[in-house]
Structures are given as structure tokens and as C-alpha cells.
Structure 1
Amino acid sequence: MFMRNVIFVVVMLLLAFMFVSCEKESMIEVEKTQSLPDVQQKAKTSDDAALKSGPGLPFTLTDNYIVEFSGSVEQLSEAVSLLDGTVDEVFSEISLAKVTGLTNANAKLLSKVKSVKTVARDISVQWIDPDANLVEEHIGENESFWPYQWGPVAISAPQAWDAGYTGEGVRVAVIDGGISSAHLDLDDNIDFNYSASFVPGMNFDEDTDDFRHASHVAGIIAAEDNNLGTIGIAPNATIVSVKVLDGGSGSFANIIQGILYAAMEADADVINMSLGGYLPKNDDISHLKNALIKALNYANHLGVTVVASAGNDAIDMDHVGPWIHVPGDLEQAINVSATGPVDFAFGATNFDRPASYTNYGQRVIDFAAPGGDYVSLSDYWFYDMILSPSSVDAGGSWYGFAAGTSMATPHVAGVAALIIEKTGGNLNPAQVEVLLKQSADDLGKPGKDDYYGHGRVNAYKAVTQ
């Protein structure tokens, strides 16, 4: 099941509770005019362990099938029609189609057609759980919540901004749920013309997730430098919102369609996928994994760098048996683990501790980045999390604290955007990853290790080395 394992945190503001969900992420929402030190908070933990038969959560079978074919679309449509089905979507670039209306028996018959390679029942997955004198000033330090943003400091983003790199001209697609398009810290950086939804009946900026995980992720990447709220790692990058989930759930077909759209019509340079879930390595579901790989390969071929979250179950993915966490563990994506301080509110400056929840494994982790944590016993433990835009309502634009690899991933996507800006968009994903590797701070064991991969990303080194 695809899952943003999350710890839910409920924050009380003026006696009003706002519930938020994220990837075993802790969440606190604050209205932009609220004084953060005055926030009263309490926590609620959601542990899905009772649902697990391994690291994976149960999924829901859909009525759709993903079909890989080798012949023409016309041949496929004819074969499907004879079996009382309908070709609903065709992903011709990767020879896949979404087919509806088949019975199980007719799906098996379709798999025997000469021009059909595989037929896999699609599933709906919970990809995201219900997170002076004249002094030179770093841009962003005049943002009202800047003192609470330890993430950009941890990866030397202010120095990268001072060097002249802000993500200008770079397009980052956020494949997620619905983004809060009216948020004061996001609206000017969203491409409204190319943002799109692949969830039937919903616009790209709608979601049943009140917290708006997609907004939080987008804000970490590119919250504006506008003297309001927070600032993103690439504050002048363009965000393309690609909605494939609602309430954190969505099918493989949605995800595949979103990837292809982001890479082609939306012309993204970077895709951020702060989502993921566990699949058995050897199973009929492997056909769905292979379909996802085809979509990611196609995006890579078009020059799109894909960044994904490693997962938040504190699992050693090198020794997890028959399970794989997708898309992060796949070769086509840069897989990101999370780091975070303990007691930032009391002056802690070690931002590079592996987060208590992060998945790890030398084989699968590529880089680490700030994701926050929630293990402090102090009353201000939530300052150890990541603050970013969340929802919008009649009261205004809200911000939330969250912790998870969902939060670490957009830090890396933001640094990738800075690299692409510097190089004029002429790098392929492998070259972007090489520059990330060469500029990362090597932490933990020398070389590639379990928790940091090649190291914790460094924005300044990435644009100056």
C-alpha cells in the first residue's frame, strides 16, 4: 500500500481544533497572524500496526485494469470491446492502457490475446496517511516565520540564495493531493494553466484532506519570498500541482497518468513525490510496479528528475524481506531519508540526526534532508518539525508543522531546482544526481551509508562547486 506514514498532531488555536494528516508526520497548523510561542498543543498518535501483515497496509481493489500491450490501440480496443470492456485511458508513450468494465474472467481472457503482454487489476492505495550598521541580509530572513525554519539553514539554502540562485525558470511538479491555490505564500508561484487533477470530479486545488499535505510540500519547495510566512528552498521556482490523490488515496493509474502529464504537457524539470507504499517484490502486483517503472523511465528519458520519500516506519529496507517501498526504492527516483533536531526551541543546532521514524538502508537511500522529528519531551517539541503552508479558509492562510520523509523530499527537490537553474536546464536526471552527490555533506560512516546515503544535501555547495 502507498502510504505517507504520519503522526497526527492536533493543535488548539483560540479553542479551535484543526486536524491534519501527513506521512507518519506530526502536524500543527497555525494561522499566519498567530504568535507561535503562544500556541497550545497536544498530540495524538496514529499507529497502523494493527492493520499490517508486513510493512504494507491493506489496499482496495478497483474495477479497473492496467494493460500493457504491444500492438496498436485499435487492436487493443477491439479485443477489449469483444470482452465487454472499455479502454478508458491510453498511455501510448509507454504502451499502457487503463481498461474498465471487465469481469475477472474476461480479464484473464484478455491476457491471452497475442498483442497483450500483461493485465493487472488496479488498486487504490493510501499513499499518504490520514504532516545595525549596514548588514547584508539573506533573502528570506524577513519572512515572519523565518526564525522557526531550521530546514533551509541546515542545508545552507540562504548562502545559495545570496549566490544568486532561487529556482527562477525551473518547473517543479508536485504529484500529491490538492494544493491550496489561494494560499498567500503559494499563489504567485503556481502555474494555474498547467496544474491539473486526475481525480474524477475534483479540481487540482480540492481535497478532502483538511491539512493539505500538497500545500505543505509545495511550500517547502517554493514558498514565496514575500515578507509573509515562510520561504521555500527555491522561492522563485514554478509549482505545477498535479492532483492524483484525494485524502491521501489513489490508484496506480492515477499516479502513472500524473507522472506522464507532469513530464510531457506540464514540461516539469523536477517531479516531487512525497508519497509511497510497500509492495511485495514477487507477486501479481509486480505488474503494477513495472507499469510505474515504465512511467518513471519515460519521465527520466524526457529529462525529468524524480525525487521521492523513503517512508516513515523506521524499517531497514536492506533487510525487509519480500517488500519494496515505491516509488522511492526504484532506481528511477532519488530516494530521500529524513533528519531533524531535538529541542530546537532550546537552541539545539544539530539538525543532522537521523529522524526517529525514517526508513533506512545503504542500498536504497540516496540522500538525507530535513524532515523534522517529534521525540523531544519539552512543551515546544513541535519546533523540531518543518513549518510550511497548509490550508486556506475564511480565517486566512494557515501554516503547519509536520515531520516525515514527505517533508525531507521537497528539500531535495528544491536543491535540484537550484542546480537546474544554474546549469540552464541542460542536465539529465543522472547528471543532477551526480551534482547532488558531489555537493552533499558526507555524514555518518564515510561514503554511502544506511541513514544518509551519499550525504545530507547542501544547497550552497550544489550551486558553487
Structure 2
Amino acid sequence: MRPGGPSLSSVSADSVSPVTYVIDLDALVPPPFLDAQIQRAGGELTASLDKIGVAIATSSDPAFASRVAKLRGVRTVTEDTMVQWVPQDTEPTMVELDDLVSVEPASVFGSLESFRPLQWAPDAVSAPAAWTAGAIGTGARVAIVDGGIRDTHIDIAPELDVAHSTSFVPGRPFNFDQRVSPATGVCGLTDTFWHGTHVAGIVAAPANNRGTVGIAPGATIIGVKVLHCGSGLFSWVIQGIYYAATPIAEGGAGADVINMSLGAAFDRQGRGAAALAVALGKATTYAYQRGVTVVAALGNNGFDFDHTNNLVFLPAMSPHVVAVAATGPLGFALGATDYDRPASYTNFGQSAVDFAAPGGDDVFEPAAEECTLPRLPSGVVTTNCWVFDLVIAPCRGSGTSNVTYCWADGTSMAAPAVSGVAALIIGKFGRLPPAQVIARLRASADDLGKPGNDDFYGGGRVNALRAVQ
């Protein structure tokens, strides 16, 4: 299952009553003043992001936007937009961890996770060598700005800061998600995947000798739900970034790293999208200024952004965001060791890609061929060979399961690998400003493809060991 398909489009929220508006201010208007002005204009202020000059309001009055646009200090008033940031395609391939499995303590950190033999992605970025060197991300806080997180999963719960996890999706807690029914096209089925759970596990699944291990197994993860069924309003994403980047002492999550494995392509000339992109950019700039490294997936459309000038991919192309392309093997189960092959679907372009990381691929042929790989402490996993080229990580599962793992591919899986390496850097060297984290990522990345900045690898494929040396 590749979160992110060939077409990412926005859907107008004009069917919602009342309508939500994103208000961009050219000055830091005091919230009490703004609240009163919006009420007089026939609306309700639902959120005031006063540190970035953005407000969220709702109104059922068709004249509301034009009234607010005339207020002093208001730059734009834009109807919010519902976007399918993470398209939901097919049912994922899953594997359950036997509750009775018990593995003896590992002599090498992270080496005896039950599904470690199925995990090629940590090896692709030299993460095991970084762990051996003592870098596991302890102390780093990574916000997963995404969908719901399965907070009871055995490879999520130990690293999850429940107290500071939250949701900006009305009526939906951070630890809940659903999926669109293939039969009806309606969001409502209890998913067996949960995109945010998979992403969180790639970043920081602990080395507990069960399941899988994340790139930064000592890091703390914070669930910030901004999507449901893969969709979300621009305002939810903006608020999620703002909250994640705000220090705990000021009412935020206190993240060091924000991971956004979500994205959509927009027409650069589209009036509504352009205004919303400005507000989104204010949020990512705020995060950068608050010392937070922001990482985002660059998307799975196969676009060459060096020659697709009419499109912008958000939030990966927002200011101060690290944009990640994907790589993956072709035939891992049959012995393939080239994990740096550009994924067939990844968006690319020297102007767009900052780094590459393992995201997997699903083009191995013949598609029906089956392969078998070992699991620990004993037993095997048998499935289609192409599945092993994907990235395995925790997922929702069915019923009360807290031991389910799924394979998925996409830049959604590559971004958390970079976030994990950023967490290793912060765990090793302390809370560095994002410019220094990015500089270290760039200086330590493996320069693949043509020398220097490359279409598919940007500044290179991240290298965890070199990043912490």
C-alpha cells in the first residue's frame, strides 16, 4: 500500500456549514480585538495563532469573508480547503506478532527484533552502526503530524508522549482513525493500517526484542492528528505544525522534529491554494524560528519538479521544510542489496529534493511469485516477493490487536527515516537549531548519483552513522 497516489487534488469545503476561513494578517493583531471584529462580521473565531498572524474562523454568513477582508490588518480571507493529503488505495499486507514470542536480550542493540530480518531500511541508512556507537535518539522529541496513532501498540506505547499528543480534527481523538470503504467511497471503516502509526514506528519503534525497530529507537514521539481517512483541512495542518513547534511551557508539544508524511500538489496560480500556502508557510517558518527541524514527504506522483513549474507540492515545498524523496530495493527477498535505487513513483528534481531515504517500491516481477524470509527467534514469513521490498512497521491491525505490522511504500515512509536521523543528531549533540541539523544531515549524507545536488537524491541519501560522528 503506497500512501500517496498518482493524483492528489483538493476538495472545496463549501458544502460544510458553517464555512471555515483562514485569515492571514499582515500584523500581529491582539486576539481580543480580532475576536470582537470577527463576531461583528458575523463569524466566530475558533483559533488565533497569534505568533504567526493567522486566525481561523467560521461563519454561515455569505458576506462574512468580504466584511473581514476590509478590516485593518487583514491581508486575505480564504475559504478553507479539505485535501486528500494521504490517498487511501488498497488493503495493506499484514503480519501478526505471536504474543507468546520471547526473544533473549540481544548482544547487539536492535538486532533481535522479531521482524528485524525483514527490515532493510535501517541498514540502508547505517542506523545499526549508529546505535552501536551509542546514538539512539534519547531526549529528542518527534511530532508525527499525521493521522491517528495506535497508542496501545507494543512498538508505539513505550515511546509515546500521550500527555502532549492531541487532535485538531473535531470529534476525533489522536488515537483514532478510519479509512474509506472501497465499496461506498465513504470514510467510516475501522482501518487496519493507520498511516500515522506506521510513520511513528519507522521513526522510533523501541528496541524491545519484539516486532520492529525504528531509526531512532530512544526518541519520544508525539501524536498530532490533523488527518482523518487521509484527509484534512489546511487549517488543521497549520494548527498542528504551530502546536508541535510551540514549547511545552507555552502550551505546545515541545517538538524538536516535526515529521509530515503527507502532501498534495497544487496549481501555483490557484488563488485559494496560494493564499492557504502562505499561511502554511508562516507555520513552517515559525517552527524553524522556534528551533524545530521540519521534514516532509515529497510525494509519489513521479513528477519532475525541475520541469513542472506550474505545480507546487505542499508542505514539502513550504519554507524551511526538508523535502524527502524515496529509494528502495528490487528483490530484497531474493538477495538484492542495492537499497539506493530511486523508487519508481518518487517525485524528483534538483530544485525540490533535499535528501533521499528508504521508502520501498512495489514493482518487482512476477508479482505473484512468493518468497520466504526468517523471523526471530524462529519461524518464517511467506508472502509475495515484492512485498518484502516495502517498509515494514507497526500498524493498527484488527480488533484489539496491538501487535500488528504492515508493509507500505512511499515517500511517506522515507520522510520518517530522515526524521529519525535528525532525532539521532539531536539526541547526540543536543537541541541544535534546524540549520545545524540540516547542515549535519547534508555533510554526512552519501553522495549518490551525479556529484553534488542530484535529481533523485538531492544532497544525498542520509547516513545515520556519519551524522552522529
Distance, in Å, in 2 between the alignment partners of 1:461 and 1:138 is 19
CA contact (8 A) 1:76 1:116 kept: no
Partners of 2:110 and 2:21 lie apart in 1 by: 47
Counterpart residue type for residue 93 of structure 1: K
Corresponding residue to 2:151 among 163, 178, 181: 181
Aligned position for 1:418: 424
Matched, 1:407 2:388: no
Q: What residue number does 2:462 align with?
A: 457
For residues 290 and 201 of structure 2, what CA distance do their matches in structure 1 show? 25
- Which AA in structure 2 matches 1:371? G
SS of the residue corresponding to residue 80 of structure 2 reads: strand
2:49 is the alignment partner of 1:91: yes
SS of the counterpart of 2:65?
Answer: helix
Comparing 393-402 with 251-260, greater Cα deviation is found at: 393-402
Give per-residue Cα distances to partners, 1:29-68, cap 9 Å, x unaligned.
xxxxxxxxxxxxxxxxxx65xxxxxx64545445110112
Q: Helix, strand or coil: the match of 1:296?
A: helix
Deviation at 1:103, TM superposition (A): 3.1
In the other structure, the counterpart of 1:126 is 84
3-state SS in 2 of match to 1:391: coil
2:173 corresponding residue in structure 1: 203
Output aligned runs, 1:221-300, within 5 Å.
Answer: 221-264=203-246, 265-284=252-271, 285-300=273-288
Q: Distance in 1 between matches of 2:9 and 2:69?
A: 27
C-alpha displacement of 1:282: 2.2
Q: How does 1:210-221 map to 2 (within 5 A)?
A: 210=191, 211-221=193-203
For residue 140 of structure 1, report the CA deviation from its aligned partner.
1.3
Distance (whole Å) between structure 2 residues aligned to residue 113 and residue 396 of structure 1? 51
CA contact (8 A) 1:59 1:126 kept: no
* 1:77 match: 35
Question: 1:380-402: CA deviations, max 9, x gaps?
Answer: 11100000000143344210000
2:313 corresponds to which residue? 325
Partner in structure 1 of residue 96 of structure 2: none
Distance in 1, matches of 2:430 and 2:47, equals: 35
* Counterpart-to-counterpart distance in 2, 1:97 and 1:124: 17
Residue 129 (structure 2) aligns with: 159
Q: 1:311 to 1:59 in 2, by over 3 A?
A: farther
- Relative to the length of structure 2, the TM-score reads 0.85
Aligned partners of 2:45 and 2:58 also within 8 Å: yes
In the alignment, structure 1 segments of 5+ residues that lack a partner are 1-5, 8-21, 25-46, 49-54
Q: Which residue of structure 2 aligns with residue 367 of structure 1?
A: 355
Deviations, residues 147-191 of structure 1 (Å, cap 9, x unaligned)? 010000011000000000001011000000000000011111000
Distance 1:114 1:418, change over 3 A: same
How many Å separate the matches in 2 of 1:370 and 1:320?
Answer: 24
**Residue 107 (structure 1) shift:** 0.7
Shift of 1:137: 4.3
Paired AA for residue 265 in structure 2: Y
1:322-359 deviation line (CA, Å, top 9, x unaligned): 11000112231100000000000000000000000000
Q: For the residues of structure 2 that align with 1:401 and 1:78, how far apart are their CA atoms?
A: 50
Please state whether the residue corresponding to 1:319 is helix, strand or coil. coil
- Deviations 1:226-252 (CA, angstroms, capped at 9, x unpaired): 111100000010000001110111111
Q: Which moved more, 1:267-276 or 1:103-112?
A: 103-112
Q: Take 1:78 and 1:331, find their aligned partners in 2: how far apart are those partners?
A: 32
> Aligned equivalents of 1:94 and 1:377: distance in 2?
50
User: Quick check: 1:243–1:258 contact (8 Å CA) kept in 2?
Assistant: yes
User: RMSD in angstroms over aligned alpha carbons?
Assistant: 1.5
Q: CA deviation at 1:105?
A: 2.7
For 1:153 and 1:344, how far apart are their aligned partners in 2?
A: 12
Counterpart CA distance in 2 for 1:277 and 1:301 is 24
Check conservation: 2:127, 2:463, Cα contact below 8 A. yes
Distance change >3 Å, CA 395–CA 84, structure 1 → 2: closer
User: How far has the Cα of 1:81 moved from its partner?
Assistant: 1.7
Aligned equivalent of 1:429: 434
| Superposed displacement of residue 318, structure 1 | 1.6
Q: Distance in 2 between matches of 1:141 and 1:168?
A: 18
Query: Is 1:444 matched up with 2:449?
Result: yes
Q: Unpaired runs of 5+ in structure 2?
A: 93-105, 180-190, 247-251, 370-384
Q: Output the CA distance in 1 between the equivalents of 2:463 and 2:437.
A: 13
Deviations 1:415-435 (A, max 9, x none): 00001111111x111110000
Which letter maps to 1:277?
A: A
Q: Give the match for residue 381 of structure 2.
A: none
Determine what percentage of the aligned residue pairs are the same residue.
47
Q: What TM-score, normalized by structure 1, do the two folds share? A: 0.86
Deviation at 1:115?
2.5
Match in the other structure for 2:69: 111
**Corresponding residue to 1:355 among 324, 343, 346:** 343
What is the rounded CA distance, in whole Å, between the counterparts of 1:75 and 1:269 in structure 2?
Answer: 32
Match of 1:14 in 2: none
- Contact 2:141–2:257 at 8 Å: present in 1 too? yes
- Asked whether the equivalents of residues 211 and 403 of structure 2 are also in contact (C-alpha less than 8 Å), the reply is no
Determine if contact 1:175/1:271 at 8 Å carries over to the other structure: yes
Amino acid at match of 2:443: Q
What residue in structure 1 maps to residue 160 of structure 2? 190
Q: State the distance in 1 between where 2:255 and 2:50 align.
A: 19
Deviates more, 1:137-146 or 1:171-180: 137-146
2:291 maps to 1:310: no
The aligned residue for residue 149 of structure 1 is 119
